[in-house]
Amino acid sequence: MFVMELTYTAPIEAVEDELDAHIAWLDGYYASGVFLASGRKVPREGGIILARGVSRAEIEKIASEDPFILAGVCSYRITEFIATKTSSDLAAVRENPAV
């Protein structure tokens, strides 16, 4: 599983100009089952996306296609982790570490 942390690198007005394209990009990866959750950070200086089911190389490619990246209004920090313990609501995304 991945935590994709976006940090805005441009004024919020420039981010807003790309928001519709960014949402369409998000919707595509929700539809494919890769994205599990996303939202704005508080204060609004970026966002977080939870993703799964792809390799590190694939998630980096996905991030590089974000309209925010293409417009130069954000950067990404991607952290991979193994979700070995979850609430019952998230049991379907629980993972077992490789032995």
Predicted confidence (pLDDT) per residue in 36-94, tens digit: 999 999 999 999 999 999 999 999 999 999 999 999 999 999 999 998 988 888 888 88
Bridge partners (DSSP) listed for residue 38 = 49
Q: What pLDDT score does 90 carry?
A: 84
Give dist(CA 9, CA 85) in Å, integer.
34
More confident residue, 57 or 99: 57
pLDDT average, residue stretch 25-32:
98
Smallest CA-to-CA distance from 32 within 48, 18, 53, 49 is with: 53
Q: What pLDDT score does 93 carry?
A: 85
